[in-house]
Structure 1
């Protein structure tokens, strides 16, 4: 009797509404799985239409085209004699569900709807789908006629069932269900399910991979079993980057690990496992067996098919491996670079344009593009034909085979130092040196003439000439004089992005890259519609602290030695006049807080759900060694004043790579108002009263009763 089975899970770079491309990648993954001897193939969540369709799920076209793709999968020769598990939206009794459709040899075995929907942070699945709430129950689902004609089935089971093949039992989870306190795999495992499958659309966040891997391994550590995780990869046309990281776990140990970041559109992971290892593992756990004896059983869909073969004695099984995690520097180097590559090749543009100031933020973006070029060259060297075809199409040259990252960077990245009378020689030199080391096509220009012309027009119309603060102007004049420089740089960025290739006799346009980090966005330390406004922003969800770690990684890994002076230099906008040729303006002094403090404020505000008073109460303990309660109070109040005054800027924030859970992006993630009572009178009075109590002073008794 056979007992060894080979199963496959996939990471696919699917794209919302790219039905043709998605079909091609699914078919290729099935073919690879079959060639590796797999009898079960699992794909990522909603892989047929692409996970990030969002409000396109409301459109009947999305379901129609998904069924059309399913029809082609059902009759595809490569999809025969292997159980295929694919994801798509399904309308059942006029209710839309996020489903797995499992089929074999042209027949649908089961449609399994998602039971727990992701509905927090970046996810709004409850907006488009309903959860299936009938545990261990199913209903008859009437197939559309186009599918009936192929399968000769009118009805198929729809609901929370498991598959019983000739040799094992298979149960399904979908993404969020793994993350819930009482996951379906718990009861399924107690009922004898031996193989668990999970199709995910799980995006990359810094440091998240550890949690995902632990959840999968723990799913089978206490209960035994085989767990397959499939995940989407690529940008899917949105702010998120799905990082693959598919895996297979057996009895609490990883036996197969997929790449977390990769330019491969299709990655198929297989493992050969012994079903008897699961059975003997479970047999030793008496507490598990006691619980299993009284579990409510699942209805099984019987499948006349075996995953194992009769003569498998000589077949070797997959051994446990140690999961290899990336460092933070590596994650930032690889994730945003893959995201940039997806955006570039799918946008039909010919490269990137980056205003390179010589500061840490824009330098980090330049290094991400350079990292992208390194990955592209490596993928081509490894024989990735899709990447090579994309490069040749982007460069409009069929004879190009990229091997040198610096040369490729010169073809794909244009950097520009936009000097003014307030720019220092130091930042000019740093930008020039970095551009030379990464190989970007570099431009130097001066914006003073345009700035002076704009200010002169204002003088002619109003009769007033604004001045910088150091020249006797007011704070309002000073801010306006800074902002006009920043906004002029945005105009130049888009002008050169559209026409710089034309001026060089080349075809195509460039995507403008932004370089505002997550902490500056949170504080609102940016000019609305300035050079922070761009097409996409690779660092908009990354903290200044993590960017410094990334820059240090680039120094060590890429030998970009010019970054040493950049990482040690104080951050400055260089928008105010120099003093004897030296910068006197620094970002942290302008903001009235450090970047390290901003990261703490951001995490407490978003992840800790803290308002002003709650944040103060937490920080007086966190910072008790370095700040008095009164100092903490002033820092918290200053942060919330600035946050509320600048919140409106987030409504036009450049779409950013989402890497931090405290991102202030209010378009998709942070649904807070943008018009506040910026003095926060009630909240700040609570803080002041608590400070007085801590300092031993008497507070207002009536107000004390309120708090």
Structure 2
């Protein structure tokens, strides 16, 4: 989990002081079995002093640290957490191990120009860059079973972009509701990374499905009456062709769902949830939005500026509706605070309200409305969380029922608790 090294460091250093001993700690390294990411941490502390500390989340097969006990004054720097870097390195390493252990040919990604898919694209790019830096080209290609690429890549001045072109294939799947800004954001980011970029329009597929339903219902579909169905068919129409591309490439299809969407079911099953692996399903959207701003400057992805200027939107309603995620749901920062109290801390709706009502995050009317919406959507969408693609355990908690958060598919939906909140002053 992010920031876990700080807790370990405190345990090791304080225990060595309390028991007047030398404390040696070692952890596993890498994505061992698909979901858990081990950071490979090694620490040696003596009588309250940290003596040895290694680099976390290495791409190498193993690390060896030693301490010559005659060096009585040796002291290592205490670890200072940077969650942005931890996220970068943890997911990059997890993707690398998943790729090589599954013996896949790479990744396929439906790149929408939005925050989630852009994050996934950057993380694949960082997997390549960090892997090359730590392992060198020869060992990197050996570990992903692609030594036959060696001659071609050595002839290129930028091996990371040549590898990206071979490992990451992206597609922008537009409809009449898609904006030119998201297309440009997707295209420019893929270009900067070096990924293959395709663009096709799925309006014909959406129209075919819609007409068949209209003929059988004997009425036209309208946004006033069929809003959710008309949105979802667009997301689902994108799934078969991107799966087809993944099959052709023998590649892993990345699904871009995040934890906030998982909380409230703001995702289309068999649509944008389609995929082999969900790298960011355990991370909240508020973190992702801020991480992309950090990555634009700290990791020097200049074309992320096109993504970071946009308000998150599913782009499934007509353009004149001006659809945004936060208008459909609630502010992502508020959603995160409600989630932590309701799911992580298991507080009731009234307890969540009392905990947040004096915070500057929202006025009381919006807060109460958002808490009610969160609990209603949470209970209604457990069946979606049961079907999410394998995801990485990254934070102190997640909503994956296979690894952390069990919840019944059918329940009373907090009906009594929410009725109390509605009357609460």
TM-score tier, shorter chain, comes to over 0.9
Contact 1:328–1:550 (Cα < 8 Å) also in 2: no
Once residues 216 and 366 of structure 2 are traced to their aligned partners in structure 1, the CA distance between those partners, rounded to angstroms, is: 46
Separation in 1, partners of 2:153, 2:15: 45
Change (3 A) 1:360 1:240: same
Larger relative contact order (Cα-Cα within 8 Å, sequence gap ≥ 6): 2
The separation in 2 between residues aligned to 1:318 and 1:378, in whole angstroms, is: 32
- In the TM superposition, residue 550 of structure 1 has moved relative to its aligned partner by 2.1
C-alpha contact 1:352 1:497 (8 A) present in aligned 2: yes
Matches within 5 A, 1:78-477: 205-273=1-69, 315-317=70-72, 319-381=74-136, 386-391=139-144, 393-394=145-146, 396-397=148-149, 399=151, 404-469=159-224, 474=225, 477=226
* Alignment CA distance shift 1:366-1:395 (3 Å): farther
Shift of 1:552: 2.2
State the Cα distance separating 1:266 from its structure 2 match: 1.1
1:620 aligns with 2:328: no
1:498 to 247, 258, 275: 247
Distance 2:71 2:61 in 1: 29
Work out which of the residue numbers 385, 407, 413 in structure 2 matches 1:672.
407
Decide whether the 8 Å contact of 1:490 with 1:530 is kept in 2. yes
1:562 Cα deviation after fit: 1.4
CA distance in 2, matches of 1:268, 1:335: 20
Give the SS at the match of 2:66: strand
The whole-number CA distance in structure 2 between the counterparts of 1:661 and 1:675 is 26
| SS, match of residue 417 in structure 1 | strand
Give, in whole Å, the separation in 1 of the partners of 2:354 and 2:291. Answer: 32
- The alpha carbon displacement at 1:331 in A equals 1.2
Mapped to 2, the partners of 1:351 and 1:218 lie a distance apart of 44
Task: Classify 1:345/1:319 alpha carbon distance in 2 versus 1 (closer, same or farther; 3 Å).
Answer: same
CA distance in 1, matches of 2:405, 2:389: 14
* In 2, Cα distance between equivalents of 1:653 and 1:667: 10
Provide closer, same or farther for how the CA distance between residues 689 and 584 of structure 1 changes in structure 2, counting only shifts above 3 A: closer
Contact 1:541–1:657 (8 Å) recurs in 2: yes
Alpha-carbon contact 2:42-2:53 (below 8 Å) kept: yes
Higher alpha-carbon deviation: 337-346 or 515-524: 515-524
Equivalent residue for 1:482? 231
1-structure distance, mates of 2:241, 2:406? 32
Q: Aligned in 2, Cα 1:397/1:668: closer, same or farther, shift over 3 Å?
A: same
Structure 1 residue 650 displacement after superposition: 0.6
User: Could you say what the CA RMSD is over the residues aligned between the two structures, in angstroms?
Assistant: 2.0
Larger Cα Rg: Structure 1 or Structure 2?
1
Secondary structure of residue in 2 paired with 1:271: coil
2:187–2:197 Cα contact (<8 Å) kept: yes
Q: Deviations over 1:653-681 (max 9, x none)?
A: 12112212331111221011121223x33
Contact kept, 8 Å, 1:543 with 1:599, in 2: the verdict is: yes
Q: 2:325 aligns with which of 587, 592, 595?
A: 587
Q: Which residue of 1 aligns with 2:273?
A: 532
Higher percent of residues as helix: 2
- Tell me the equivalent position of 2:378: 643
Q: Does residue 682 in structure 1 map to residue 416 in structure 2?
A: yes
- Runs of 5+ consecutive residues of structure 1 not aligned to the other structure: 1-204, 274-314, 502-508, 692-707
**Contact 1:329-1:549 within 8 A present in 2 as well:** no
Name which of structure 1's ranges 547-556 and 343-352 shifts more when overlaid on structure 2: 547-556
Q: What is the aligned partner in structure 2 of residue 655 from structure 1? A: 390
Provide the residue aligned with 1:504 in structure 2. Answer: none
3-state SS of paired residue (1:531) = coil
1:703 is aligned to: none
**Aligned partners of 2:77 and 2:348: how far apart in 1?**
42
CA distance in 2, matches of 1:231, 1:343: 19
Is there any run of 5+ residues in structure 2 with no aligned partner, and where?
Answer: none
Within 2, Cα distance between the matches of 1:318 and 1:399? 49
Aligned to 1:598: 335
What whole-Å deviation, never above 9, does each CA across 1:176-195 have from its counterpart, x for those lacking one?
xxxxxxxxxxxxxxxxxxxx
CA distance, structure 1, for counterparts of residue 366 and residue 338 of structure 2: 15
- Contact 1:272-1:318 within 8 A present in 2 as well: no
C-alpha distance in 1, partners of 2:396/2:304? 28
The 3-state SS of whatever aligns with 2:396 is: coil
2:289 match: 548
Distance, in Å, in 2 between the alignment partners of 1:428 and 1:631 is 33
Structure 1 Cα separation of the partners of residues 371 and 267 of structure 2: 20
Q: Does 1:523 align with 2:264?
A: yes
The answer (yes or no) to whether the contact 2:6–2:79 under 8 Å persists in 1 is: no
Shift of 1:688: 3.6
Instruction: Indicate the SS of the match to 2:381.
Output: helix
Aligned length: 422
Mapped to 1, the partners of 2:366 and 2:135 lie a distance apart of: 55
3-state SS of 2:420 partner = helix
Q: Please give the alpha-carbon distance, in whole angstroms, between the structure 2 residues aligned to 1:321 and 1:271.
A: 11
Cα separation, 1, equivalents of 2:44 and 2:203:
59
TM-score of the pair, normalised by structure 1: 0.57
CA contact (8 A) 2:141 2:147 kept: no
Q: Cα offset for 1:607? A: 2.1
Query: d(CA) in 2 for partners of 1:396 and 1:511?
Result: 20
Could you report, residue by residue, the CA deviation over 1:121-166 in whole angstroms, capped at 9, with x for unpaired residues?
xxxxxxxxxxxxxxxxxxxxxxxxxxxxxxxxxxxxxxxxxxxxxx
Taking the aligned partners of 2:73 and 2:163, their CA distance within structure 1 comes to 39
**8 A contact 1:364–1:547 mirrored in 2:** yes
Q: 1:261-282: CA deviations, max 9, x gaps?
A: 1111111221122xxxxxxxxx
Matched residue SS, 1:266 = coil
